[in-house]
A and B are shown apart, each in its own frame.
Chain A
Amino acid sequence: MLSKIAVAGSIPPSIPVEASILNRVLEVLERVECLPADAVGALRFGSDGLVLVESRAVCWAAAPGMRPRLTQLLRHEHAPPLSKDQLREVYRQCKDDQIPLADALLAVGNLSPSALRTALFRHTAEAIAHLASNGTHFGGFVAQPSYRARFPFSTAEILAYLGARCDTVLAAAAAAELEVSLVPETSGWAFLRDAGMGAPVVVAARGGPPLPGAEMVEISLWVANLFDVTGVFDAGVHLASASFRGLRYVVAWRSAGTYFAAVCANRAGAARLVAGLEQKFRNAERVGVSV
C-alpha cells in the first residue's frame, strides 16, 4: 500500500501510516463510545497513557514518549512560531495561575482558536494511535470532575484523521465533497474499500451526530457489499438510498473511486440528500466528467 504524505507546509505525523493499526484504534475508541453518556473521567492505559473523556467526546490523550510533541505542534501552528522559551513561560503561567492551557495560549496573542484546536486535536489523535500501536494494557476508567474542555473531539473525527493517513490528498477531496453534499441532521463519511487493512478505512467524516467508529465500519461494509451485488445487474449504479426497520435511513454513493455513506435523521432528509447528489451526478454527466 502506498502512503501519500501531506502537502508541503505541515509537519509530519509522529505515528506510522500503516492502516494495520486502525483495527486497534477502533478498539481504543470503542472504550470511549461504550462509556455512559454522562461519564467524565480518564481511560488509563499502562502507567503513562490516558484518554480524557466527557460525554463520549475525547478532551485530550497522551501516550508515553509524546512529551515534546505538543510543543512541536503548538510552535508550528503559532504565527510566528513560538520559541521553546516562550512556550515554557506559558506552561509556567498555567501552573502558577491554575488556568487552562488553552486559555493561556490564546491569550499569548498569535494563536487562533482554530490553530489551537488543530494542535490539540493532532496531539490527541496521535496519542490514541500510539496507545493502539503499542498495545498498552488498558488500566480502567477513573471518574473525574468535568473538564469543561474548550475543544472536545468526536471519535469519528479521530478515526477519520488517522485513516486519512492512507491517502491525505484523497481524504481532503472526500472531506470537501462531504462538506458540500450533506444536509442538516446527517452524519456522513468517506471510506476506502481496502487500504491494506482487509476492512473499510474511514478517511473523512462530517455532519452529526457522529456515529461510533464500529458502526461506521459496519455500515461501510454493507455499502461495499451492496455496490458489489448491484454490479451484477447494473455496473453503473452510483447512488443508493435505503430505509431500515427502526427508522434508519442510509444513503450511499461512490465518486471518483471513493465510497461515501450517510445516515440521515429521517426519510425527508435522505430524499433531500439524494436529490442533491443526483443533481451533481447529472451535471457531471452533462459535461462529460466521469464520477
Chain B
Amino acid sequence: MLVEIDSGRVLGPLPAPAGALPVSEVVSAVPEIFGAQALLKHRLLGEMAVLSELLDLVLISPTRVHVLQRVPAEPARALVSVAGRENSVGWVVSEARSRLERT
C-alpha cells in the first residue's frame, strides 16, 4: 500500500500479491516510524543527527514480516507490505523491492 509518510494517508492500494496480509495497522504507524529520527534531531538541539533519512525498514515477528520502503522518486511516500512468516524473509524482501521498482 502506498502511503504519505508525513500524514499516514493512504494514497491507493496496489494489487496485493498472493499471501499478503492487511497493512492498515502498520500504515497508522508510518509517520512515527519514518519521523522518529526527527524527534532525535530535535533532541540534539540542531546538531546533525547520527541517523539521517530512513530509506527502508524490515520488521520481523514470529507471525509476520513487515517491509516499509521510501519511494526513491517520491521520498515523501512509502510502500508498505506485510506477509506471513511462512514465507522466507529474503523472498518477502525481494518481492517488496520488486513492487517498489514497479511503483
Contacts and interface: CB of A to CB of B under 8 A. Distances in A.
The 5 closest A-B pairs by CB, nearest first: A236-B61, A233-B25, A245-B53, A239-B60, A237-B61
B29 A229 contact: yes
Nearest to A270: B58
B44 to A, nearest CB: 8
A234 B27 CA distance: 12
A285 interface: yes
B89 interface: yes
Interface stretch (A17-25, A140-148, A213-221): A213-221
Contact of A244 (B26, B55, B61): B55
A242 B66 contact: no
A254 B48 CA distance: 27
B52 interface: yes
B62 A222 contact: no
B36 A225 contact: yes
Given A236-B63, A241-B58, A243-B56, A274 B89 contact: yes
B73 interface: no
B61 A232 contact: no
- Interface majority SS on B: helix, strand, loop or mixed? mixed
A29 interface: no
Interface string B61-103: 1111010000000000000000000000110000000000000
A229 B32 contact: yes
A233 B40 contact: no
Interface of A: 214-215, 218-219, 221-222, 225-226, 229-230, 232-246, 248, 250, 271, 274-275, 278, 281, 285
B18 interface: no
A238 B90 CA distance: 17
B60 A233 contact: no
Contact of A226 (B33, B43, B64): B33
Given A233-B29, A236-B64, 11 more contacts: A214-B50, A218-B51, A219-B51, A221-B40, A232-B28, A235-B61, A236-B61, A238-B61, A243-B55, A245-B52, A245-B53
Interface of B: 25-26, 28-29, 32-33, 36-37, 39-40, 43-44, 49-64, 66, 89-90
A229 B33 contact: yes
A241 B40 contact: no
B36 A242 contact: no
A240 B58 contact: yes
Contacts of A278: 60, 89
Nearest to A214: B50
Contacts of B54: 242-244
Nearest to A251: B58
Given A218-B40, A226-B33, A233-B28, A248 B59 contact: no
Contacts of B52: 244-246, 248
Which of B28, B33, B58, B59 has the most CB atoms of chain A within a 10 A radius of its CB?
A: B59
Given A226-B36, A243-B55, A244-B55, A234 B64 contact: yes
A215 B89 CA distance: 29
9 contacts: A218-B50, A225-B39, A230-B29, A230-B33, A234-B66, A236-B62, A240-B59, A243-B54, A244-B54
Given A242-B56, A243-B55, A278-B89, A233 B62 contact: no
A240 B89 CA distance: 11
A244 B53 contact: yes
Nearest to B31: A229
